Amino acid sequence: MRLTRMATATACVLALAAGSFAVTSPAQAEPAPPKVARTLMETFATTGKADFWVRLSDKADLAPARKINGRTARGEEVVERLQATAADSQEPLRDLLKAEGVKSTAYWATNAVYVKGASEALARKIAGMKGVEEIRPPKTYAIPEPIRAKALSSAVQGIAWGVSNINADDVWARTGRRGEDIVVANVDSGVQFDHPALVKSYRGNNGDGTFTHDHNWIDPLGNCPTAAPCDRHGHGTHTMGTMAGDDGAGTQIGVAPGVKWIAGVGCPDGSCPEEALVRSSQWMLAPTDLSGRNPDVSKRPHIVNNSWGSDPSNDPMFEDIQLAWAASGIMGIWSNGNSGAACRTSGAPGSRTINYSVGAYDANNKIAGFSSRGSGQDGAVKPDISAPGVQILSSLPGNGYAAWDGTSMAAPHVSGAVALLWSARPEYARDIDGTRLLLDLSAIDTDDTSCGGTAADNNVYGEGRLDALALVQAGTTGTATLTGRVSDAATEQPVAGATVALTGPMSRTATVGADAAYTFTLAAGDYQLKVTAFGYQPTTRTVTLTKENTLTHDIALAPTERVNLTGTVADGSGLGRPLGAKIIADDGAGHRWSAEADPGTGGYTLPLLPATTYTVSYTSTVPGYDPATRQVAMGDAGQRLDMGLTVSLACTAAGYHVTRAGSTQSFDGSKQPRGWTVTNVELDIPNYDYQPGWVFSDRGGRGNHTGGKGGFAIVDSLRSGKGHIQNSYLTSPSYDLGRRTKTMLEFAHDLRPAINSTTSVDLSVDGGRTWTTVWSAKGYPGAAGPATQVIPLPQAAGQRNVKFRLHYLGQNSGWWAVDDAFIGDRACAVAG
């Protein structure tokens, strides 16, 4: 079960928490040092003295330890480096505390000192010391009450459903290994060491009726009434049973009953003080005797199950200890939390990228409603994997059994599975990265992307459901990598969107991207590789992947039968010359084919699928022409489609020029032209002025950048002042277009907008009684001058009382300058 914070827990976490800050309370004479947590200063203000953690910034370099092969030597290297760093950096602090007569406990697994009953003055003094990173109060977590079934007073015969669901019993049968030579541990509420299902696998069992608890048990806060292991809550006995439980008389609740187990009490009575968690976690690196002496790294566990954590968060709780575990070769497994079913409910430490976390599913292989979902730290997929966690039968104190629900119950299934792997394949013991890879690869993909991720790796199930047999088989065969690229056999171009499917010891499917490359990491063995893509013939190959090798296997797909769409692309506005163009055929189902028309001849060929209807688009590579589209239904034989592209309204295509017949207003004077009107609409907004609107003098000194010459009309909102709102219309006189047939409006302009500006052109064919908007632009990108706007006005052709108006709306929002406004017949003709 995930731990929840108690009401008194308000500080940042111990290991790599973010820097704290302080506030001034009425009792403080001066601001708190920035390294002292605000919550601690508040405690000082009310109690005078407090316990607190002092965390130092120095970190041991543990990288060299990872290169050491010997298990004991590796563990010693980690401990020696941690202790040396702590001893050097903590010495001034310990000397100060001794001189002040204050009790404290120094830790080396995390470079920190726990100070008891100290004053605010001492905290301030410590904050000023070199190397002190933060000072904060302790935190207490609590194990949330599990969903419990009625306790059973007697053993239940048979294999627990979770054990058989992950195929652990098949591992026992096929390998003859049940976790032998592996030591597991938990940091939990304790364990009833002499429970019938656990006593045989307790490492402290001497086999003659006597027990040695030294190096096998730590009770940091003296929770148990005697030196013997106990559990006053039940949670720890239950999780240990799922890893190691077997009463030898038919009750098989443990995934790896051949292991030996040891334990630390991090959560006595269901509450989890930081001090107990840190001391138990540090002890795992070098277990001591019951007096805390004679540490022995050779007795550290291989795997530590952690069915506890925070409420949803990504706090780096005790992360330096977790990194030390990994450097020492200890694999930590974490429950992902019981705060589901919402997304982003994963809790630390499981939500952190360095930790391997577990979600919970039921006997129908369906994710539990309470199981927390990701994502986790930095968007990482969480949980990493899922395991049985609903109605999990396991041991309870008092020699009993009960079925409980929680990701607490799921995590020990994974811990036990790792024990089976390391027992059957010792070469993976302490290879944490390799083990995580095997867990990921062997998991049964379970599709649920409701919280993000993919069908194969998502924030509900993680990599999928745990399969202990597949895990051990993958460890036996080893891993290999298959890479390749999918291409068109005819053109050698990448085939984006191709599906690559593998079946064999594992099954995987992927869709390639634009580069058509694929990469799979799998268990070694023989695989069937099948590649399919729309418009291509399926291709199947057999590939053999050998252990620790990479095989590159490219696939060239043969196109399916095609029929050709052929034709030419040419100028369709009078010159008739061939045009280069890009042609794209789209079948409306996400598949597109393209071709290039030859610039010299305009000819093109586009191989398409028969019995398919396409939308074919033609875009000239020669500037000045509008694109065009056509619908083409391809049958069993080829078709021809010639396309003539017309010049665009701007008439910039080579060999053409604009002809005009109508009226042009140049705005060359500095006054409002005759027949033109300016209308400024006052808005009902207090304290804002609607001026100045359209003007015909360059008050802002901008110059004519429209492309015209001389004067121009402008609304200069940017230079009008913050108290001005422009809602201004510039309306033309009436024009008689009764003889016009190709009527257009054209003007040169310089439009520099803002996000809150709107420009538009309205047309009236009844002398201004009614208006229709024929062009508009809101906000960006505008049209930085010199620019030309051409607006077809077919509704004005043949009309005798036509007006148009230019409308600007904005506040301190750029400008719109207009010149050379033409209305009348406008055509793009062949230059002659």
pLDDT tens-place string over residues 632-666: 999 999 999 999 999 999 899 999 999 999 999 99
CA–CA separation, 143 vs 265, rounded Å?
13
- Tell me if domain 479-551 and domain 563-645 are identical in fold: yes
pLDDT over 70 at 155, yes or no: no
Longest dimension (CA), the chain: 119
pTM value is 0.69
Contact 365, 446 (CB under 8 A): yes
Please check the confidence at residue 9 and state whether its pLDDT lies above 50. Answer: no
Tokens of 508: 């995987």
Average pLDDT over residues 811-818: 90
CATH number of 479-551: 2.60.40.10
What is the distance between the alpha carbons of residues 202 and 268, in angstroms, rounded to a whole number? 20
Question: What are the angstrom distances between the C-alpha of 167 and each of 388, 390, 408, 674?
Answer: 12, 17, 20, 93
Q: Give the least confident one: 73-82, 87-96, 309-318, 484-493.
A: 309-318
Could you tell me how far CA 115 lies from the centroid of its own chain? Answer: 39
What is the average per-residue pLDDT within 489-504?
94
Residue 336 CA to residue 307 CA, distance in Å, equals: 8
pLDDT cut 70: percent of the chain above it: 94
Rounded to an integer, the average pLDDT of 688-692 is 73
Contact criterion met (CB below 8 Å) for 75 and 301: no
Q: What is the pLDDT of residues 24-37, one digit of tens each?
A: 333 344 566 789 99
CA distance 98 to 134: 20
Q: Is the CB of residue 418 less than 8 Å from the CB of residue 389? A: no
**pLDDT for the residue 313:** 80
Mean of pLDDT values over 254-264: 97
Q: Which of 421, 440, 327 is nearest to 381 (CA)?
A: 440
Lowest mean pLDDT among 193-202, 278-287, 578-587, 716-725: 716-725
* Confidence check: pLDDT of 17 > 50: no
| Active-site residue, selected from the candidate residues 104, 169, 188, 764 | 188
| All structural domains of the chain with their residue ranges | 4-138, 147-473, 479-551, 563-645, 656-827
Buried b (16+ CB within 10 A) or exposed e, 335-346: bbbbbbeeebbb
Q: Is the CATH code 3.30.70 the one for domain 4-138?
A: yes
Tell me, what's the pLDDT at 312? 82
Q: 235 near 307, Cβ under 8 Å?
A: yes
Q: What is the mean pLDDT of residues 557-579?
A: 95
pLDDT at 15: 31
pLDDT tens for each residue of 514-524: 999 999 999 99
Active site residue 235: yes
Region 612-631: what's the mean pLDDT?
A: 96
The topology under which CATH files domain 656-827 is: Jelly Rolls (2.60.120)
pLDDT tens digits for range 662-672: 999 999 887 89
Domain at 147-473: CATH architecture: 3-Layer(aba) Sandwich (3.40)
Q: Which of 351, 371, 386, 408 is catalytic?
A: 408
Residue 244 is predicted with a pLDDT of 97
Q: Can 372 be counted among the known catalytic residues?
A: no
Q: Which of 195, 213, 233, 235 does the annotation list as catalytic?
A: 235
Provide the pLDDT confidence category of residue 758 given band limits of 50, 70 and 90. Answer: very high
Which tens digit of pLDDT belongs to each residue from 360-379? Answer: 999 999 999 999 999 999 99
Under a CB-based contact definition with an 8 Å cutoff, are residues 159 and 238 in contact?
no
The pLDDT, as a whole number, for residue 33 is 76
Topology classification of domain 563-645: Immunoglobulin-like (2.60.40)
Starting at the edge strand found earlier in the chain, the sheet holding 132-136 runs 104-107, 112-119, 49-56, 132-136
